[in-house]
Amino acid sequence: MKFRVQHQQAHTGMNLVPLIDVLFILLIFFIVTFAMARFETELNISVPAADAGTQTSRQRGELVINVRQDGTLVWNSKVLNEKQLMAQLQEISRFDKKRAIIIRGDRDTHYDKIVRVLDVTHAAGLYHVSFATRTPQEQ
């Protein structure tokens, strides 16, 4: 009886393909997260200063509504009118009535524009609203 002799190859080391896959997935995750956070705030809006304001950490899922100086509404990098904003907020309100809303109004925006945004959030059923401010030292 002749048995076959099996030749085993020497172990060449650790397989790096799964590690590289995980690194690419993490890289994509952080790029997308950074891009989404950046698009939520308009850079050309100068929010008013407040001495009593505190720096808070961003919460996951909070919505940022930008109100430009001329009163136009910007949400997720899209210019919306009040009816479109109402439709979007009502859709969100159906699933999460406690969703946090941050209103970033330009300091030169007329007060009635901000109040109209508050009315829209109230009519949509979202009541956790706050205003974005900056400290007086920031320029």
Is 19 among the domain residues?
A: no
Query: pLDDT tens, position by position, for the chain (139 residues)?
Result: 666 766 666 667 778 888 999 999 999 988 887 766 655 555 566 666 666 666 666 666 778 888 988 888 988 888 999 999 999 999 988 988 888 888 888 888 888 898 999 999 999 998 888 888 777 775 5
Residue 126 maps to a domain: yes
CB 43 within 8 A of CB 77: no
What is the domain-level CATH number for residue 100?
Answer: 3.30.420.270
What's the structural domain count of the chain? 1
Report if residue 58 sits inside a domain.
yes
Residue 137 lies in a domain: no
In a domain, 9, yes or no: no
Domain range for 63 is 39-131
- Is residue 45, in this structure, part of any structural domain at all? yes
Task: Please give the Cα distance from 111 to 105 (Å, whole number).
Answer: 9
**What are 75's two structure tokens?**
């949400």
